[in-house]
Structure 1
Amino acid sequence: MTTPTVAIGALGGTIASTSSATDGSEIVPTLTAESLVAAVPGLDAVATVRAETLARLPSPSLDEPTIMRTLLWAQAAVDAGAAGAVVTQGTDTLEESAYLLDLFWDRPAPLVVTGAMRSAGAVGADGPANLLTAVRCALAPVSRDRGVLVAFGDEIHQARWVAKTDSMSPSAFRSPAFGPVGRCAESLVEYAAPPARVPPLRLSRGQETGDPRVPLVATYLGDAGYLLDAIRPEDVDGVVVAGFGAGHVSAGTAEAVGRLARQVPVVFASRTGSGPTGRAMYGYPGSEVDLLARGAVGAGWLPPVKARLLLWALALRGPVPRADVATAFAERGRL
């Protein structure tokens, strides 16, 4: 019996890590994509696999250009006939990689990202099970037109909402605001709602190779804005501020936001982990009303790291007027 084809691209991470120590400590990424595939019993009965090692990096060493190259690889794979594509990587930056891919993924075929919290040689390694779930998700017709998905622990999450919420637990991935969109149970992939996504961003040829500078600055008790004032506008393409509560900052930081927003796009997001930025509730200096009046843009439901990626993606096309930033965040930061 002929099985559908799935492309698997490996970037490294815990799922590909092994240890040379007798106690299994100090793991590093060593396994190839072919090795990951070979470790999944019965995978050949589910799919014809095209495996490729794209990188063998620890998650913190991934960057936007690497993920954009991964996007091109996945697009080429489905254009060549794969029913879907799977990317394996480390978990520390998985939520960011998945969202960046989702911003530009323009094929109806599924692109699924997965990884592992336990290394390949650990007792109870979760990599093989997660990879099998990801493949099943990528091949399921009901996964089409859903953009980029994250498969972890038999749950399926939208890249837009998923976050790593625990540093060690095998069930580290959650969608804090709304929960998973689907499940894989007894090999059957099911979703709670029909597909619904924001159209992907478009790039002109060559723009995908850019690398804008968009720093993320988190506020804190006693912050007076000196970190923002230390940023030279000519050195950045935009700035994201992770604020208290619904995106609030101190009065001093608000003044720094205003100075910076006159020269480059500034977006404020909530550092809470769930919930949107405010629009009209508070009116004190540093509130959402004040920041909007100073020229900053609210991130809506997007958390700081994803707000930063959206601003980075917009900046790939060159300088972005505040009105265009506001429009993009109004569209992609809503429910």
Structure 2
Amino acid sequence: MTKRMVAVGTLGGTITMTAKDNEKGVSSTLGAEQLVASVPGLSALSVDLRLHTLANLASGSIQFEHLFAALTWAKQQIDSGASGVVLVQGTDTLEESAFFLDLYWPYAAPLVLTGAMRSPNKAGADGPANLLAAIQVAMSPKVRNHGVVVVMNDEIHQARFVKKAHTVSLATFTSPVFGPLGYIQEGGVRIFRAPSERAILPVPSQTSDKVLLIETVLDEATELYSALPSLNYQGLVIAGVGSGHVSEKVRDTLPPIIQKMPVIMTSRTGSGSTTNAVYGYKGAEVDLQQLGVIMAGFLCPRKTRLLLSAILWATQGNRQQVEQALQKYLHLYNAY
């Protein structure tokens, strides 16, 4: 049997963290070679591994520049013959990294993200099992054309749907409404759905345009909204209440913001789509759309911010091109 080639790169995260002498807590210390050495069952796979330590960062400190560097490395691996790529990072921002990379991943071969909820020094550490499963998924031809996926707890999730839904549970990663793309059982990869069309944007020459994400809350102050047109932001995403609503006070601050930048409404609920024509009161979706607010549909607030950022970078902020791209890609992400 011909061996497949899989590249494994590490950015850090709980899966790489150990305790240092006389220090409380754990921090990222392990590299790719040390991680792979701890995984039982790899010798049974018909796979050659290329290993590379990209960084040793807690996931909350990952920047766009780190992800673009990881993307460049991952593309080089596919171009030099890898069947798939595994990228290891911390779970706190893993859902955002997965979606961000999915916006730029042009290959049929899979890019698989994984991590761990328990550090290697804990009983029942899940890192080795997650890494083994991620390598199995990266090897599988069944996962081709699905773009970037997240593999955790023997489940395979699409980048557009996956979210971290619990602070510490091993089953923290879920795909609300749509469920996982597939799972791993007895070393085999099971896939439930055909590939979905994906947005694939050009890698930008600049990333200076910034998008602000605000979650609206009960009896919300409006000073930040009022100041926003004078601040250095080029887009606004609002995580609205319910199916995409804000208070009357917030609504009244939006017209000057909309004049300056695209404003997208999402839902803060964590599951389900914004609505388009259910509620007509002031601050609800009918009223907001008449003002020029764009409804995001199923795309969550954090991923909407990333999509809008990528579009701004690709169009260099050209308002007409931004709005055309938003219409195209938001339709794509809501074509179910």
Instruction: Give the TM interval when normalised to the shorter protein.
Output: over 0.9
Q: Is structure 2 residue 210 aligned with structure 1 residue 213? A: yes
2:255 is matched with which residue: 255, 258, 278? Answer: 258
Q: CA deviation at 1:170?
A: 0.9
Residue 133 of structure 1 aligns to a residue in which SS? helix
Aligned partner (choices 292, 297, 301) of residue 298 of structure 2: 301
Letter of the structure 2 residue corresponding to residue 69 of structure 1 = A
- Cα deviations by residue, 1:42-80 (Å, 9 ceiling, x for unpaired): 324422111111110001101222112211111111011
Q: What is the identity, as a one-letter code, of the residue corresponding to 1:41?
A: P
Note if contact 2:213-2:236 (Cα within 8 Å) is conserved in structure 1: yes
Q: TM-score, normalised by structure 2?
A: 0.94
Task: Name the Cα RMSD after superposition.
Answer: 1.6
Asked whether 1:289 is paired with 2:286, we answer yes
3-state DSSP class of the match of 2:283?
A: coil
Q: Is the 8 A contact 1:68 1:208 kept in 2?
A: no
Contact kept? 1:10, 1:53, Cα under 8 Å: yes
SS of structure 2 residue aligned to 1:104: coil
Q: Share of identical aligned residues, percent?
A: 44
Mapped to 2, the partners of 1:124 and 1:320 lie a distance apart of 51
Matching of residue 42 in structure 1 with residue 41 in structure 2? yes
2:317 matched to which residue of 1?
Answer: 319
- Please give the alpha-carbon distance, in whole angstroms, between the structure 2 residues aligned to 1:76 and 1:272: 39
Q: Which deviates more from structure 2 when the two are superposed, residues 191-200 or residues 113-122?
A: 191-200
Q: Secondary structure of 1:316's partner?
A: helix
Structure 1 stretches of 4+ moved >4 Å: none
Q: Which amino acid aligns with 1:263?
A: K
Unaligned runs of 5+ in 1: none
Aligned to 2:8: 8
CA contact (8 A) 1:15 1:127 kept: yes
- Letter of the 2:13 partner, please give it: G
Q: Residue 103 of structure 2: SS of its match in structure 1?
A: helix
How far apart are residue 195 of structure 1 and its match?
Answer: 1.8
- Closer, same or farther in 2 for the Cα pair 1:285/1:21, shift >3 Å? farther
The answer to whether residue 104 in structure 2 is matched with residue 107 in structure 1 is no
Is contact 1:225–1:253 with CA below 8 Å preserved after alignment?
A: yes
For residues 327 and 287 of structure 2, the distance between their equivalents in structure 1, rounded to whole angstroms, comes to 16
- Count residues with an aligned counterpart: 331
Deviations 1:265-291 (A, max 9, x none): 111100000011111111111101111
Secondary structure of the 2:211 match is coil
Report the residue type matching 2:249 in the other structure.
G
Q: CA deviation at 1:7?
A: 0.5
Could you tell me which residue of structure 2 aligns to residue 158 of structure 1? 158
**Contact map agreement 2:229 2:260 (CA 8 A) in 1:** no
Greater CA deviation, 112-121 or 58-67?
58-67
Residue type of the alignment partner of 1:113: L
Aligned equivalent of 1:241: 238
Specify whether residues 139 and 233 from structure 1 end up closer, same or farther in structure 2 by C-alpha distance, changes over 3 A only. farther
